[in-house]
A and B are shown apart, each in its own frame.
Chain A
Amino acid sequence: MSTKDPIDLRQDRRQWLMTSATILGASLLPLPPVSAETSQAETAPQPHPAKTAEAKSGARFFTPSQHALVEELSETIIPADSHSGGAKAAKVADYIDQVLRETFDDNQKTLWRDGLRLIDVMSQHYHGKTFVNATPEDRIALLTVLSDHLQMTDLPEVRFFVELKRLTVTGYYTSKIGIHDELEYKGNRILKEYVGCDDQGPASS
């Protein structure tokens, strides 16, 4: 994936979906349809073998390996930097797990299960490794492919990326780290006086 040539996502996904059975094992099949005409209806709720086990109250939505993958995905969306912790430190994967565990929306659950699977299929295709085992640069390169093809909303991996970013952003910026460390939000406290533009004195803490 070092090439600077624009990636043809539709062309590429034919290849990775064809080879995915041997790479990942048949247990992960069936994969979503490949055709460019894939409609949203075709990814509508399908019966899922794991559903009954996860329906138990308190049970996690993600398996441990899925959870590890979501941690790395969310950290790639909002990484730690010199200013503050990232999505992993803010426990965004736990937040997403809760959302998916509690949601009544089976389409959303399916999108996440399929999406996580497709991420690893893609990672194998482009980098020969699972996403968790890929280098940070390779992870960024992979998500960039999806981020650059947002208009292809018929592809489940693109829809998954949008959903991954949405829930990561929501989980991160509603966390302690997001509000206090990253944004240094000054509100939700009692003020003597609101400081407006006219009377902004020297910076005070």
Chain B
Amino acid sequence: MKKKLLILGLVLFVAMLGCAPKEEAPKVAPAAEGPKKGGTLVFGRGGDSVGLDPAYETDGNSFMVCDNIYEQLVAYKDESTDIEPGLATSWEISPDGLKYTFNLREGVTFHDGTPFNADAVVFSIGRMMKERNVKFFGEGFEIPAQERPPEYWVSMEMDDTVGSIEATGEYTVVFNLKRVEAPFIANMGMDFASIISPTAFVKDPKAFVRNPVGSGPFKFVEWVADDRIVLTAFADYWDKDKGPYLDKVVFRAIPENSVRFLELKAGNVDICQFPNPADVDLARKDPNLKLVSQPGMNVGYLGFNHTKDMWKNVHLRRAVAHAVNRQAIVDNIYQGMGQIAKNGIPPTMWGYNDDVPGYAYDPELAKKELNLAGYPDGEGLPELTLWSMPVPRPYNPEGLKVGIAMLGDMGKAGIRARIVSYDWGTYLKRQREQPDDRDLFQLGWTGDNGDPDNFLAVLFDGLASPAIRTQWKNERYHELMLKGKQTIDQGERARIYREAQQIMFDEVAAIPVAHSTVIWPMRKSVMNFKLHPTASVRMKSVWKE
């Protein structure tokens, strides 16, 4: 009997092993000429999407799916944040910069068959307005009440920018602005400005977040929570010359980095997002894999508490800047997946000032500056607090480790400091309150629209608002930021922002630490996948060999 029980157990176990089919790993075929149609691409990522209504989402995992379902009036070019026509074929800006007239593309339909027109634009953007100052051209739609504050619309201060939206023809929309806002066009390319099918939304506003309908190259099929989101090619897509080539795209949530990479090696996943740095080397050696990389549109920085008298002393700020060995931080903590920052904007962005030398790592110079600041050899300088993030962020993989490295560096220059950290929510909250018990803090930013204003004004212009996290206040800088917003000509704006970066450097507004680099391994069979600076994931023109 005992033997029988054991045997029964073993038989059951072996039966479980044996009865399953084996999945065949895709073979890497020699590259053929031109795009190939068909196939399923599986994208492995760290987490599930939160929702798929672009007006209300804030996270990358949601936007990467939205990027393939929806389109905006204007689009970012494939590998930059330069603007090109999207659902609008052209646009005119009035001489005073307050009226934007968009001419819309004809013959576009949403996935549910609803035709795309000016009313769809008025509906999609108008639903985010606090005061719905909108006019439809045709019958129009009743815009349902807002479910919650549309986060991006609010944080990009769009209610202060957009006065009214008017459909003046079936394919013409006019935006009347309250103020001149040069980044407005770039904002219209962001995910929150996606154009949705109004009929689908009106049918059941609450259900839309899980049943998205747009006009993009792929349409939504299925969502299995915490597991996968499945999209299929949209047969009536307007831009057929450029795709979609794939039949199906599956976004799979695989939370553990190393398991996600193993799925890639096993051939069950075609692209692996956010691998462990150690796995990047393994991918390099694997004949079936390749790496695609892109400098991230982000910056991690070390800020000062400018509200404290002590930090009004530029020599003290400069002493810290020269004390920190940022190269070592990038090499050891970013593990090569990053580059030293010398400006508050990433080098891939227009308006970047390459003439700014950046702060050299020089402990001797740091000591001299400390002397000039009135703290010879650190004498009289209290122990500083260095706030460090408890969580990995796109611009900083390990805030605490970076903080510890900085402590060591500063110690060599005679600056004593200790690390302070809170849970992430408290950290953000207390940081904004500018408490006295904070001297230095780490933080960063990931760009939204590729416009320098989105970094330089939002992060560093303390005179604009008490909500600016760095609270650095400089009259000239503030003037430049206002001018930058109100100047339409991009060449002129670039000049303005270059000057602003020079001021930031001279005045040591903050210490830019690093820009992280995004490196994703993928199967060699994946063709034409381009990492975008905004981190959007575009499957439109991707195919599999």
Asked whether A and B interact, the reply is: no
A interface residues, Cβ below 8 angstroms from B? none
